[in-house]
């Protein structure tokens, strides 16, 4: 379970200490070091971090004892802290972007950017673009997502619904696996409008807020993969029109 906790953002020692307290109950520093495998000289700073994050209570008495907070309470609280932190980072990023544009007035604001031949970089950039939608997102969908990003994608889709983002998805009628069907059901449950087309969809595409467009191909050998995105108005308008034409000719999905 420590791998899952680390995936949520806990460090190795933090995950080990929390799991040890869940497994063995109230422990002092010496006992906690023995049960968790964390050096005793690192126990207090690790426990203090976990207390601040809402995972551990420090009990009065001598010697001090530590107790795990129920995961049903600790995990939602931790996610709220992370969401608040992320909201602050978004605001800071927007403020910094505005400042940087002013600092470089000669730099063109219209561009085309790309990531190629890197599964990790494409996955990270795709998720960043995915999260950037504020008003609308139109997606010609991929039937695959990096497994390690599954939680992040689901969180982004849920956030669309909370922010009132209009989310439209087109996929083709080719047979899909149960795992893929589960993903589509999740998107629909969170408010995505979905349609099917019988036309071949050779690559993925999305339009974000009518201002940003990206195309992607992640089929075949990784050296042929690419993700391209642009804020060029003519390109965005062209791909937006293409999506709308596909949407009008597509049909609502049957029960998945």
Looking at the chain, the whole-number percentage of residues with pLDDT higher than 70 is 92
Fold of the domain spanning 110-249:
Endonuclease; Chain A (3.30.870)
What are the sequence ranges of the domains in the chain?
Answer: 2-71, 110-249
Q: Does pLDDT of 256 surpass 50?
A: no
Question: In sequence order, what E strands does 26-156 have?
Answer: 27-28, 56-59, 65-68, 112-116, 136-140
Residue 112's Cβ-side half-sphere holds a number of Cα atoms within 13 Å equal to 9
22-31, 117-126, 152-161, 171-180: least confident range: 171-180
Cα→Cα distances 210→61, 100, 121, 158, Å:
60, 23, 24, 21
Q: Does pLDDT of 160 surpass 90?
A: no
CA 42 to CA 45: how far, in whole Å?
6
pLDDT digits (tens, 9 = 90+) for 170-187: 988 777 777 777 878 888
* The model's pTM: 0.57
**Closest listed residue to residue 53, CA positions, set 68, 42, 39, 64:** 68
Stretch 207-234: mean pLDDT: 89
Cis peptide before 63 (omega within 30 of 0): yes
Question: Residue 187 in contact with residue 194, Cβ under 8 Å?
Answer: yes
Q: Does pLDDT of 150 surpass 50?
A: yes
What's the CATH number for 2-71? 1.10.10.10
pLDDT digits (tens, 9 = 90+) for 76-118: 888 888 888 888 887 788 777 777 766 555 555 678 899 888 8
pLDDT digits (tens, 9 = 90+) for 25-82: 999 999 999 999 999 999 999 999 999 999 999 888 888 899 999 999 999 888 888 8
pLDDT at 255: 45
Q: Does pLDDT of 143 surpass 70?
A: no
């Amino acid at each position: 379970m420590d791998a899952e906790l680390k995936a949520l953002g806990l460090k190795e020692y933090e995950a080990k200490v929390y799991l040890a307290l869940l497994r063995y109950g109230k422990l002092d520093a010496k006992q906690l070091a023995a049960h968790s495998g964390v050096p005793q000289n690192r126990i207090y700073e690790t426990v203090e971090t976990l207390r601040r994050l809402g995972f551990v209570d420090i009990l009065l008495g001598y010697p001090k004892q530590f107790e795990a907070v129920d995961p049903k309470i600790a995990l939602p609280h931790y996610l709220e802290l992370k969401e608040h932190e992320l909201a602050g980072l978004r605001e800071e990023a927007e403020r910094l972007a505005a400042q940087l544009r002013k600092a470089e007035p000669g730099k063109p604001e219209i561009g085309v950017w790309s990531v190629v031949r890197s599964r990790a970089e494409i996955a990270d950039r795709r998720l960043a673009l995915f999260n950037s939608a504020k008003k609308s997102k139109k997606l010609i969908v991929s039937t695959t997502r990096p497994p390690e990003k599954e939680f992040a994608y689901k969180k982004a889709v849920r956030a669309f619904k909370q922010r009132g983002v209009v989310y439209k998805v087109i996929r083709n009628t080719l047979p899909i696996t149960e795992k893929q069907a589960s993903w589509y059901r999740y998107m629909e449950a969170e408010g995505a409008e979905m349609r099917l087309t019988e036309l071949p969809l050779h690559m993925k595409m999305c339009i974000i807020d009518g201002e940003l467009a990206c195309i992607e191909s992640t089929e075949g050998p990784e050296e042929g993969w690419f993700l391209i995105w642009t804020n060029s108005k003519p390109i965005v308008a062209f791909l937006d029109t293409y999506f709308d034409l596909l949407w009008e000719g597509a049909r609502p999905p049957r029960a998945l």
